[in-house]
Amino acid sequence: MADKTNALLSILKLQPVVPVLVIDDVATAVPLARALVAGGLKAIEITLRTPAALDAIRAVANEVEGAVPGAGTILNARQYEEAVDAGSRFIVSPGTTLEILEAARKSRVPLLPGAATASEVMALREEGYTVMKFFPAEQAGGAAYLKSLSSPLAGSVFCPTGGITAQNAGDYLSLPNVICVGGSWVAPKAMVEAGDWDGITRLAMEACKLAR
């Protein structure tokens, strides 16, 4: 567990913002990832919300130098294994189940498990997890709620995701128990559809400047 935790931390420390992507067309995966990497966002979460997701992960893993692809919205052990086989270097789940925890135990690839309450954080700590995803961040109480967990649950660090924008990301990144945030604003759907890779690179560069 210690080795996996360190591997996960090394990925999450690469940048203040992890892009959370929903890719509909696999043809956009490589140029999109290249644009994000060019802007300084190397760790990229591709969510398993579309039929193109696994092929997108595979393409990014094989073709984009410097990218660290991960898989998000992992809901069960089968998806965990498929994402790893596609080349994912980290796995993200919106919540946590015993099935996912067992899959994580068997895998070499680290899990960023989702938690939204103090009880869920405590349960994950009992399993050896100190790095978690706080989701859905804004809807679950926002930065103020997460700040309130920092003292009673000291030693736990989070990547808040869900409702994070360029405007409120700094509120989270200023917290002592936040290592980075996840957000989709660095790759707006309209810009992806238009192939505005230079524009996405600019958004990535701006995201990299956010303090943490």
Write out the two tokens for 173: 């990144």
Q: What is the pLDDT of residues 13-53, one digit of tens each?
A: 999 999 999 999 999 999 999 999 999 999 999 999 999 99
124 CA to centre of own chain:
18
List the CATH number of the domain containing 101. Answer: 3.20.20.70
Is there a domain that residue 159 lies in?
yes
Q: Which entry of 4, 42, 63, 133 is annotated as an active-site residue?
A: 133
Is 133 annotated in the active site? yes
Give domain status of residue 210, yes or no. no
pTM here is 0.97
Axis-axis angle for helices 53-63, 29-38 (nearest 10):
50
Tens-digit pLDDT profile for residues 53-66:
999 999 999 999 99
Q: How many domains does the chain have?
A: 1
Instruction: Assess whether pLDDT exceeds 90 at residue 211.
Output: no
- Measure the CA–CA gap between 201 and 144, rounded to whole angstroms: 31
Q: Which domain, by its residues, includes 7? A: 2-202
Alpha carbon distance 64, 31 (integer Å):
8
Give tens-digit pLDDT for 98-125: 999 999 999 999 999 999 999 999 999 9
Residue 87: count other Cβ atoms within 10 Å of its Cβ: 18
Q: Which of 4, 13, 42, 45 is catalytic?
A: 45
Q: Is residue 25 part of a domain?
A: yes
Residue 46 domain-assigned (yes or no): yes
